[in-house]
Amino acid sequence: MMKRTVQEIQLDGIVGPTHHFGGMSFGNVASMQHAGWHSHPRQAAQQGLAKMRQVLALGLGQAVLPPLPRPDMCFLRRVGFSGSDTEVLAKATARAPYLVSLAISSAFMWTANAATVIPSSDSADGRCHVMVANLMATPHRALEGQERAMMLRRLFRNAPLVVVHDPLPANPALSDEGAANHCRFATSHANRDWHLFVYGRAHDTPKRDLPRTFPARQSREASLAVARLGQLRPGRGLFVRQQARVIDAGAFHNDVVMVNDADRLLLHEQCLVEQETVLQQVRKHLPTLHISQVRQRDLSLRQAVKSYLFNSQLLRSPQGNVLLAPMQSSSGPAVKVIQRLLDEGFVDRVVFQDLDQSMAGGGGPACLRLRLPLTAQELATLTPGVILDAAKVQRLETWVEQHYRDELTPRALADPALLREAQQALDALTQILDLGAIYPFQQ
């Protein structure tokens, strides 16, 4: 069978108007450390758009995923608050402030967690499958799944070609964190694309092998279910466990200690259980894969989590293999590792990107995007308005400047004016992206 030609599109989430540091992600060191800090939504959104502009400048495809509506008024109504939006927000703030914190979270900006994608070239039925994550591990992100599924179905207008699946059942045994724990390899060998699923726990994992400080979010049962739903061809996947010590060091998702693109894999030497055996299996399936392991003595787990080097984007561009890295990895031990990658030819170029607002919440360049490997026909089903060019980025930058606050304090999150501002901003965004009425408040 002839291999389908696939183009990878970077789908980045736009930072929402309620971007703040709620500190609700236990196990995410940056989120915990910056809880309660004053946030800068305008700057956060501008930094995200600047990264998208950089990807375009590299000659690669870039699209945007609109923010989810926040505060989540549907959620607050479902837990017993009634009245107008303003009344619901006021009542919930007075009686259930913790629930308001969940309802106002803008963690959806980290789109790598939104779903796992099995391209049509790798699926048994020849269709592209998008398995939306249930994000059961944290209460604020558990609100996202169904909303994201509905939105992605609006963006992909041809279900026979691109299938968007509902999240897995809301059960802790099926905790799924999306593409942050998934890698897809594509080498020059025809029909040899291959998938690596990384999980932190399984129903039969001995207690002694589980993390002691922070929870293991991704379950093996969820990873297996995702592969089944995505109809991944037999023999195309490997399911491996993340080291407990890595999770306890703050690598709450595997993309904090591993990154890949096509025929390249960069990972910390303490990333996986029985890592050498795993890599031998990977090499057996993909003999031309370039693997670079970073030693603990060169970059400790603590330094890896602090620098977010492995949360860089590895990108194949017309200019060669590019590492789009967070500014935090431009100094100290991380930059020495990067220099070695350049010297060895693992990458051809490095671009450092300022994403301070995202990084303060625990999300680097790779967290902000979901990879969409699409054929030309599948790409044609994506709503044209979300596909970016330089002019569209400029319109979005102007939109952010007009609608986003410069600063948000924790107290300001319950301000009814912020609710109105957020809805006005999203209403204007749907016009820019030509999406129609996709939000409940627009109905």
The confidence score (pLDDT) of residue 419 equals 94
Contacts of 297 (CB under 8 A, 6+ apart): none
Could you tell me what percent of the chain has a pLDDT over 70?
98
Q: What mean pLDDT do residues 74-82 have?
A: 97
The confidence score (pLDDT) of residue 190 equals 41
The confidence score (pLDDT) of residue 159 equals 79
Q: The CATH number of the domain where 133 resides is what?
A: 3.75.10.20
The confidence score (pLDDT) of residue 29 equals 74
Among the listed residues 34, 367, 378, 403, the single catalytic one is 367
CA angle (116, 117, 121) in 5-degree steps: 150
290 DSSP assignment: E
Q: Is 271 a catalytic residue?
A: no
The confidence score (pLDDT) of residue 285 equals 86
Among the listed residues 144, 147, 177, 221, the single catalytic one is 177
CA angle (435, 443, 386) in 5-degree steps: 10
β-pairing, 320-326 vs 349-353, is parallel
To which residue do tokens 């490095």 refer? 350
211: left (phi over 0), alpha (psi -120 to 50) or beta: beta
Structural domain that includes position 148:
7-70+105-442
Does some domain include residue 148?
Answer: yes
pLDDT tens column, 130-147:
999 999 999 999 999 999
Q: Is 195 a catalytic residue?
A: no
Q: What mean pLDDT do residues 35-42 have?
A: 87
CA separation for the pair 62, 43 (Å, rounded): 20
Does some domain include residue 272?
Answer: yes
Helices in 210-294 by DSSP H: which ranges? 220-229, 244-248, 275-285
pLDDT tens column, 323-366:
999 999 999 999 999 999 999 999 999 999 999 999 888 899 99
Could you tell me what percent of the chain has a pLDDT over 90?
86
Instruction: List the single range of 3-7, 52-56, 73-77, 299-303 with lowest mean pLDDT.
Output: 3-7
Does some domain include residue 225?
Answer: yes
Does some domain include residue 115?
Answer: yes
Among the listed residues 40, 182, 195, 253, the single catalytic one is 253
Are 314 and 307 spatial neighbours (Cβ–Cβ below 8 Å)?
no
**Band of residue 381 on the pLDDT scale cut at 50, 70, 90:** very high
CA separation for the pair 419, 426 (Å, rounded): 11
Please state, rounded to an integer, the average pLDDT across all residues of the chain.
94
pLDDT tens column, 103-128:
999 999 999 999 999 999 999 999 99
385 DSSP assignment: G
For residue 294, list its beta bridge partners.
268
- In the three-class reduction of DSSP (H, G, I as helix; E, B as strand; rest coil), residue 70 is classed as coil
Structure tokens at 310: 């492995």
Q: Is 290 a catalytic residue?
A: no
Contacts of 105 (CB under 8 A, 6+ apart): 18, 22, 24, 70, 140, 141, 143
pLDDT tens column, 408-427:
998 898 899 999 999 999 99
Contacts of 425 (CB under 8 A, 6+ apart): 17, 399, 403, 404
The confidence score (pLDDT) of residue 224 equals 98
Say how many domains are in the chain: 1
State yes or no: pLDDT of 242 exceeds 70: yes
State yes or no: pLDDT of 189 exceeds 70: no
**Backbone angles phi and psi of 440, in degrees to 5:** -55, -40
State yes or no: pLDDT of 41 exceeds 90: yes
Does some domain include residue 1?
Answer: no
State yes or no: pLDDT of 34 exceeds 80: no
The confidence score (pLDDT) of residue 161 equals 95
DSSP string, 164-222: EEPPPPS-GGG---GGGGEEEE--SSTT--EEEEEESB-TT--GGGS-SSS----BHHH
The confidence score (pLDDT) of residue 191 equals 52
Contacts of 109 (CB under 8 A, 6+ apart): 13, 14, 15, 16, 19, 44, 48, 67, 358, 363, 368
pLDDT tens column, 284-314:
888 889 999 999 999 999 999 999 999 999 9
Q: What mean pLDDT do residues 68-94 have?
A: 96
Q: What mean pLDDT do residues 13-27 have?
A: 87
Are 196 and 182 spatial neighbours (Cβ–Cβ below 8 Å)?
yes
